[in-house]
Structure 1
Amino acid sequence: MGGTPEVWEYDGPASQRLWQKSVIGRLLKNGSLALSPAETLFVHHHRNIELPDNDWKTNALSMNGMLLQEYCILEALRVPGNKVVLTGNLDLFDLDYQPQTWACRWPSNSHPKDSQPTAEVRWFLDSEMLNPAELHNWAVEVRNSNRIPEVMIVDEELSVVSYQLSSESPLGIFKEERLGEKLPNLSDGINSADGMIFPSENWEIEQLGIPTEEGIFLDTIASEIVDGKSPLSQGALILLDLLDRGLVIRPGFKYGSKWRCYEKRIGDDHAPYLVVLPDEAPKNWAGACLASRLASGVNKIWLHPVNNEGSWNYLAITRPPADSRWTNPRKL
């Protein structure tokens, strides 16, 4: 059972069973099971396998300051029965994966030897900074492989939560309105509260504008478009994209976002999307998780705009379905 904190070659009587049933580690030609430090902790705590020696844990922690966090991620995924293969072992099954991926996941009733993974997994500390563009690209590539892009977040208490990523393309029923051409031709606006008020008589734009007793109010960002400002701010460019998609736009202040977006006329359905301005968006995973959870609580999807060579895409960070919310066992 010798080994180092980097890889432990377990040659005990349970090696074949651990491989065949749990698909954990890497089965070697000599029958031993090569386990990563996180996998070693998992089989110790959940499969009653003794550690290599009394100093192993201390040595392993000194070599990898994130070992406990990685173990908690692995625990959250494996305790419900998922099979999790770290990317360093995916060559055993001749599987491709994205370079940023940490592991692939199979549900309990599947096996890597005869099925494709359900998800590719990454994990982050809750204090780590978001990189929306990189996350969006990763999510798109993973989805193109018919897999779920899953992210696992671990906090200072070593508590784990899971989220799913996707690239959303929200569309509404007003796609043919071409407001990018109509708005700069509006007239009779009066400056008000950093925005503009227009007469409500004959107002025909359903996608934009807040009805008030004095007229239709357009905020600062919409007023940029009306004024023909050049260059437009990032917010105005995003607003134009949302309008071009045919969505009805209203303030999202009470939901902690810039806008709430309707696919249909207001009153016909709820607003399924909340859109944040990148400059105002959460900067780390703790903030993004909170925003996503708040959106989920009101049956909405939280979207972070991402610019890709001049076009706007929308990264969604969503809570998984109830049967796919991975978290580690609660320790009191």
Structure 2
Amino acid sequence: MSGKAICGNLVFNITGNRSAAHIFNKYSTGTLKGDLLILEPLEVVFLIWKRRIKAENPLFNEGSSLVKAILQEDEIPLWNAYRELRIAGYRVKRNGMDLRIREKSSSSPVFTVKTIRENFQLSFSDLYSWIENIVAAVDDDGGVTFYKLSEIDMEGSSSIQEIKERPVPVGKRSVVSDGSIPEWLGDSTTENFTILSELETRYINGFPPENPVEMVYHDLFNKKTIIRTGFKYGCNFRIYLNELSSHAEALVHVFDREEGWYAISRAVRVAGGVKKKMIFAGILESKIKYVEIKRMKSFVEDENRDDESDL
């Protein structure tokens, strides 16, 4: 005799003459109460999709009727992320508007997945609060891109060269003779002198920073990194941690207002394309913090993947 499952007021029959316990154990879904499987909405959609349950009321076997009956609009991206994680072989449980995931082994670590839509707006405070979590960004085509967030130390080890002369002001910029400042500073495309930007001029003259971008510049300079413009990559700075070489290790974008995830997605994609870390900097409680965001191509290597797609 086939088992039964319920979600709210909806009753489902388990297909294939299987018991509630079989579905509970094989798919790690629901809560087992005797011979009855208690499901959450995402689990219902998953098991309908897998053809493992059918609604007693045939109306709710229609996809549109089922979704309208059990999912709210803001839960649709959750379903997209839930489906992708289940296909990848993860155990997934809902926790409010987040997902909690781990591999099949009971000893494997648990990760929190924050699910957002492609047009999500956030502050640096929001971003920093997600450190060590995974972000699932769901686009309007239903595609899911996963990102890992980590706090990063931006300490460099470049040598500090003595500044031998004060810059000569040219408006808000300035000019110095070649060899009188660190060789990586400024525009030295003209022989015999170097033109400094506003940020470089203010730092060398000891002026206090006036805005978040300048605060981050001062902090990176004091951390012995080499800082060059990130204009070609659409960000504030490109960073060399040790010495000026042909390839910078990181790109830095300064959060000085709310940003859309579009901008973050674009920046991470560009950085990945040129094999650099993408770092987002911001100010929290008067302290400068750095968050690395990288795109996760997969959660597990193909040879270790426990794919449920053929179950």
Describe how 1:207-226 pairs up with structure 2 within 5 A: 208-214=185-191, 215-226=193-204
Structure 1 distance, partners of 2:156, 2:184, is 10
**Displacement of 1:11:** 6.3
Q: Do structure 1's residue 156 and structure 2's residue 160 form an aligned pair?
A: no
**Which has the higher mean CA deviation after the structures are superposed, 37-46 or 60-69?**
60-69
Task: Pick one of 103, 116, 129 that aligns with 1:137.
Answer: 129
Which is greater in Rg?
2
Q: Aligned in 2, Cα 1:169/1:10: closer, same or farther, shift over 3 Å?
A: farther
What's the counterpart of residue 306 of structure 2?
A: none
What's the counterpart of residue 292 of structure 2?
A: 316
Equivalent pair of 1:222/1:236 in contact (CA under 8 Å): no
Equivalent pair of 2:12/2:55 in contact (CA under 8 Å): no
Alignment TM-score, normalising by the size of structure 2: 0.82
**Displacement of 1:52:** 4.9
What's the counterpart of residue 76 of structure 2?
A: 68
Task: Pick one of 234, 240, 249 that aligns with 1:272.
Answer: 249
Report the count of equivalent residues: 291
Structure 2 distance, partners of 1:46, 1:69, is 19
Deviations 1:86-139, CA, capped at 9 Å, x for gaps: 226xxxxxxxxxxxx7122122xx33xx32434211100011102322221231
Which AA in structure 2 matches 1:24? T
Q: Do structure 1's residue 16 and structure 2's residue 12 form an aligned pair?
A: no
What's the counterpart of residue 97 of structure 1?
A: none
What's the counterpart of residue 94 of structure 2?
A: 86
Structure 1 distance, partners of 2:266, 2:167, is 41
Give the fraction of aligned pairs with identical amino acids, expressed as a percent. 22
Describe how 1:279-290 pairs up with structure 2 within 5 A: 279=256, 283-290=259-266
Equivalent pair of 2:225/2:241 in contact (CA under 8 Å): yes
Describe how 1:1-332 pairs up with structure 2 within 5 A: 1=4, 3-4=6-7, 12=14, 13-27=18-32, 29-56=33-60, 57-58=64-65, 60-61=67-68, 64-87=72-95, 102-107=98-103, 110-111=104-105, 114-139=106-131, 143=132, 149-174=133-158, 177=160, 187-191=166-170, 194-203=172-181, 205-206=182-183, 208-214=185-191, 215-230=193-208, 232-267=210-245, 270-279=247-256, 283-324=259-300
Which AA in structure 2 matches 1:69? P
**Displacement of 1:250:** 0.8
More strand by share: 2
Structure 2 distance, partners of 1:87, 1:187, is 58
Q: Tell me, what secondary structure is at the counterpart of 1:307? A: strand
Equivalent pair of 1:301/1:316 in contact (CA under 8 Å): yes
Q: Aligned in 2, Cα 1:103/1:265: closer, same or farther, shift over 3 Å?
A: same
Q: Aligned in 2, Cα 1:47/1:54: closer, same or farther, shift over 3 Å?
A: closer
Alignment TM-score, normalising by the size of structure 1: 0.77
Equivalent pair of 1:262/1:271 in contact (CA under 8 Å): yes
